[in-house]
Amino acid sequence: MKILIADDSRVMRQIVLRTMRQAGFGHHDFVEASDGAEALDLVASESPDLVLSDWNMPNKTGIELLRALRVTGNPVPFGFVTSEGSDEMRQTAQEAGAMFLIAKPFTSDTFESELSGMLS
């Protein structure tokens, strides 16, 4: 499967990638985007099977990215990996069509728990 990681922090993209490997998902293909607009373009060109996205990003936030995908009918599975995990944000994410929201700081156990059903 192909997985798109969208985060404006290159360091955080590396940490998400490392955590995915630790969770046992390192054999999948990964594509990286440095903001929401680039992620939207890469969803179109790369057709990932899953998007893992930060919430706060320049040029298009994660929730704007998700809404832009859904409004065009793109059903790609989508999860947030973000520094904020309030109930309000989780509800907003769910209503927009996200599968899950993982709050930073996270562990590989969290990734395994959220993604094992889909990726294993």
Residue among 12 and 118 whose Cβ is closer to another protein: 12
Q: How far is the CB of 95 from another protein (least distance, A)?
A: 17
Count of residues of this chain found to bind another protein when the rule CB under 8 A is applied? 20
103 binds another protein (CB under 8 A): yes
Footprint of another protein on residues 35-54 (CB under 8 A)? none
Binding residue for another protein, selected from 27, 45, 71, 105, defined by CB under 8 A: 105
Residue among 3 and 57 whose Cβ is closer to another protein: 57
| Identity of residue 8 | D
83 binds another protein (CB under 8 A): yes
* Residue positions counted in the chain: 120
DSSP 63-120: HHHHHHHHHTT----EEEEES---HHHHHHHHHHT-SEEEESS--HHHHHHHHHHHH-
Looking at residue 56, the DSSP 8-state letter turns out to be: S
d(CA 83, CA 106): 9
For residue 78, what are the β-bridge partners?
51
Binding residue for another protein, selected from 47, 94, 107, 113, defined by CB under 8 A: 107
Give the interface with another protein as residue ranges (CB under 8 A). 8-12, 14-15, 18, 56-58, 82-86, 103-105, 107
